[in-house]
Amino acid sequence: MGGSTLRNAVTIVGASLAGLRAAETLRRDGFEGTINLVGDEPRVPYDRPPLSKQLLSGEWEVDRISLSPPERFTSLDLDLRLGRRATGLDVSSHTLDVDGATEEYDGLLIATGARCRTLPGTDGLAGAHTLRTLDDSLAIREALRGGPRRAVVVGAGFIGAEVAATAVGYGVPVTMVEALPVPLSRVLGDTVGSVVAEVHVDNGVDLRCGVGVDEICGTDRVESVRLSNEAVVEADLVVVGIGAIPNTDWLEDSGLTVDDGVLCDKTCLAAPDVTAAGDVARWPNPRYGEVMRVEHWDNAVEQGAHAARRLMLTDEEAVPFTPVPWFWSDQYDRKVQLAGRPRPDDEVTLVDGLFEERRFAVIYGREGLLTAVFGMNRPRQVMQFKGLLERGASWSEALEFAGNQT
């Protein structure tokens, strides 16, 4: 590949999806040097979407979520250093601290992901959980199998929604608490967010919107949740899903710019010989003219590959990373998909199906351009409009395309 002689070794910090896809890309593109893959979890890289879906429900067991079979790790010829934590970085000296020991790096790719936001008073309290790791998922699954009298899910975002749906599948009564008046309204707008909310209500969830959590109550174990409107919900299981924080604490005084993630240029370069990818990376996406950090599976795959290739290219050879963000979520018997970058004040047009039937596709537009597509049980339509998004289609082109499909 072009520029492959730039370096002899690459260290990847973060042994999850973005980090593994980076390593695979380097080998696929012909890199024969050393690849060090450092991960703080003791497990081989595994897939995270099933943690709130198939693994949590019991449909899958742990052996089904590995990102690659054992023989694949052998063929990649990695120096796989699991259960090891990066604790410091100095880009001026090209040195990395791993568990306090300093080593030099040639090329460095940061893919340390993100961690869950938490609520005060939940640390060490039995029955209070967040969901980010395999161990988190197994602990919540065990709790659900134990038949709690009620589960409270804090946050009606996509992770919270999936946990709520799975808990309902276990026959557990669920209360879901959301600070916004309409779930997901900051992403999808009020109209579509309201439909998503109705799906939960249709499935028996006690949905409380426009209210926060004041306290998780209990001495040694969760007993109840006190809300900001002074209501008290009795519960012995609480799952907090209120967003994630990029894992950048170890980069203090590193010489990198850290601001809600590792700030990169449009090619994913954070500093000379340093790139970043996945949930931890923040970069200006020229397609949208904005700086973004994307916590989606597809972005980790694509950005991991792009950041790996960037380490092998000169500045003249490098190209911008310009994806159309895309993700999916499974809730009850509904598959939800979103492609693009919608805003709450975008124009929204229903292009297929009916809101009432919970089977529909809508498109979003702004300033004469198609900005996003959202679908509920409409995967074909979502992918069709995703193709239009990738081509930079105008709003009028999108409406014409929709009209031709009816």
Domain match, 293 and 337 both: no
d(CA 144, CA 360): 32
Is pTM beyond 0.85? Reply is yes
| Domain edge (last residue) among 279, 310, 341 | 310
* Strand pairing report for 95-98 and 86-90: antiparallel
Domain final residue pick, 224, 242, 260: 242
Q: Which residues are registered as beta bridge partners of 349?
A: 363
Over residues 53-73, mean pLDDT? 93
Per cent of the chain over pLDDT 70 is 99
| DSSP state string for 175-193 | EEEESSSSTTHHHHHHHHH
Residues 249 and 103 in one domain: yes
Q: What is the pLDDT of residues 297-321, one digit of tens each?
A: 999 999 999 999 999 999 999 999 9
Is 46 part of a structural domain of the chain?
yes
pLDDT at 147 over 70: yes
CA distance 313 to 318: 6
| Four-point Cα dihedral 306, 92, 2, 323, nearest 10 | 20
pLDDT at 3: 39
- Domain span including residue 281: 4-115+245-310
| Coil/strand/helix, residue 73 | helix
Mark whether 56 and 161 lie in a shared domain.
no
Nearest to 107 by CA among 259, 4, 246: 4
Q: Do both 105 and 125 map to the same domain?
A: no
* In the predicted structure, residue 24 carries a pLDDT above the cut 60: yes
**Residue from 117, 136, 236 nearest 179 by CA:** 117
**CATH code of residue 182:** 3.50.50.60
Average pLDDT over residues 148-159: 96
- The predicted-structure confidence for 90-108, as pLDDT tens digits, reads as follows 999 999 999 989 999 999 9
Q: What is the pLDDT of residue 212?
A: 97
**Sheet (strand 290-292) strand order:** 262-263, 281-285, 290-292
Question: CATH number of the domain that 396 lies in?
Answer: 3.30.390.30
In 286-338, which ranges are continuous DSSP H helix? 297-310
Residue count of the chain, please give it. 406
Assigned domain for 96 exists: yes
Check whether residue 252 and residue 225 sit in a common domain: no
pLDDT in tens, 205-256: 999 999 999 999 999 999 999 999 999 999 999 999 999 999 999 999 999 9
pLDDT at residue number 72: 84
Residue 325 lies in a domain: no
Record the tokens describing residue 389, joined without a space. 């998004």
How many domains in the chain? Answer: 3
**What spatial distance separates the first Cα and last Cα of the chain, rounded to whole Å?**
46
- My answer on whether 237 and 254 are in the same domain is no
Provide the pLDDT for residue 1.
Answer: 34
Q: Could you tell me if 255 and 233 lie in one domain?
A: no
Residues 110 and 250 grouped into a single domain: yes
What's the pLDDT score for residue 382?
A: 97
Same domain, 201 and 271: no
